[in-house]
Structure 1
Amino acid sequence: MAAAELDAACRIVGLAFADNPSNLATVRGDQEKATRAMEQGTRIIKLGSPFSHVLGAEREGRLVGILNAAEWPHCQMKLGEKLKTAPMMIRTIGFNLPRAFKVMSSRAKHEPSKPHWHIGPVAVHPDEQGHGVGSALLRTFLDGVDKQGTPVFLQTDVDRNVVLYQKFGFEIVSRETILDVDTRFMWRAAR
């Protein structure tokens, strides 16, 4: 991914997740900090990973959405990776770092320990939400995964996203309240 595309993708994720319940809980409601944290976290943890597979959606030559996925066993950060990202996270979210690590470690406990793809994030620019961009990204990715015969895992804390993912065959397999946020963990069996 070229530098300009990476910048645009990270910005979209930041904007799309600015009001995400988990992100806001992590930074104690500071929406500006939540946006920056998602931008920086996406740059280093997700899109900066050698195991990241990214799909982009464009409208009129402009990036409007992305879907990131990683294949098991590269879905969750190892301890060394967390320590490597800690300085950036401290600069971005400050004393909220323990809260961010709590969210990450709580979510990691739900990660299946068998072959699968882990989707996340799926982000659509706020101006483009509700116009089928996220659905198109999911459909494209899942069509490819179905050819492999591989199951898919994701997590969400947004009610409307649960409904969307269920339309694509995902089922809630577990849930946990993390920082007072209802987080659903969803699985889509191999097709």
Structure 2
Amino acid sequence: MHKHNCNILPLGVNDMTTAAAICAAAMNENPLHIKVFGANPDLRQRRLRRMFPALLTYVKRKGELYGAFIDGNLIGVLGMLPPNTCQPTLRDLIQLLPRMISASSPLGGLRLAIWLGTWARIDPKQPHWHLGPLAIAPQWQYKGVGTQMIEFTINQCAAEHLYLETDKQSNVDLYQRFGFKTLATPTILGIPSWVMIRST
């Protein structure tokens, strides 16, 4: 693996369209996204591109949203919600859920609510930074960018617990290298998933 050094910088409003497209492309083959947004990859991509602007706007408003840049080009996205903010308020839900659910079919919207509700119930009580999304453009994956983004997160939150969820075993293997441990392994809509925490 050839490592490409990247600059990790806060994302601006003008970056949001590109950031949403990166998230959609990076996560198009995630098992839960296939289950919720449909088996057709092109349709799923369009639906994800409609969903992610709402999610990224929420993360930017409530927490911190960064981009990984190489030669001035955005190639990765990292969201971080600070302690005691990762559970949306009623106002947040009123603003966020209709935009996210409308990105899919009615059945997909129901499945999305089940998925997010399951993870929300597991969210630990102790204060923690909640990571996500963490997405890298497909052509830049497996080139050291994800490692740099995780290292950046650990350095930013050195005194705090870090928490995340994933539905990919390959991500679990990566996060374990950085000291994350599996907290629970809920099966959601028949899909295995992992919630992980890194203690200080």
Normalising by the residue count of structure 2, what TM-score does the alignment of the two structures yield? 0.87
CA shift in 2, pair 1:12/1:78, >3 Å: same
- Show the 5 A alignment for 1:35-74: 35-49=45-59, 50-74=61-85
SS in 1 for 2:104: helix
Between the aligned partners of 2:81 and 2:34, the Cα distance in structure 1 is 24
Letter in 2 for 1:74: T
Q: C-alpha displacement at 1:56, in angstroms?
A: 1.3
Residue 151 of structure 1 corresponds to: 161
Between the aligned partners of 1:27 and 1:37, the Cα distance in structure 2 is 7
Letter in 1 for 2:82: E
Residue 166 of structure 1 corresponds to: 176
Residue 6 of structure 2 corresponds to: none
Are the equivalent residues in 2 in contact too, given 1:55–1:137 (CA < 8 A)? no
The alignment yields a C-alpha RMSD, in angstroms, of: 1.7
- Show the 5 A alignment for 1:41-120: 41-49=51-59, 50-95=61-106, 96-120=108-132
Residue 30 of structure 2 corresponds to: 20
Q: C-alpha displacement at 1:173, in angstroms?
A: 1.1
Between the aligned partners of 2:87 and 2:44, the Cα distance in structure 1 is 20
Are the equivalent residues in 2 in contact too, given 1:56–1:137 (CA < 8 A)? no
Letter in 2 for 1:129: Q
Letter in 1 for 2:134: V
Q: C-alpha displacement at 1:162, in angstroms?
A: 0.5
Are the equivalent residues in 1 in contact too, given 2:20–2:56 (CA < 8 A)? no
Identical positions, percent: 26
Between the aligned partners of 1:31 and 1:123, the Cα distance in structure 2 is 18
Question: 5+ unaligned residues in a row in structure 1: which ranges?
Answer: none
Letter in 2 for 1:4: N
Q: C-alpha displacement at 1:115, in angstroms?
A: 0.7
Are the equivalent residues in 2 in contact too, given 1:46–1:52 (CA < 8 A)? no
Q: C-alpha displacement at 1:180, in angstroms?
A: 1.0
Q: C-alpha displacement at 1:27, in angstroms?
A: 2.0
Residue 10 of structure 1 corresponds to: 20
CA shift in 2, pair 1:189/1:64, >3 Å: same
Between the aligned partners of 2:89 and 2:126, the Cα distance in structure 1 is 17
Runs of 4+ aligned residues of structure 1 deviating over 6 Å after TM superposition are none
Are the equivalent residues in 2 in contact too, given 1:37–1:89 (CA < 8 A)? no
Q: C-alpha displacement at 1:110, in angstroms?
A: 1.0
Are the equivalent residues in 1 in contact too, given 2:101–2:112 (CA < 8 A)? no
Q: C-alpha displacement at 1:79, in angstroms?
A: 4.1
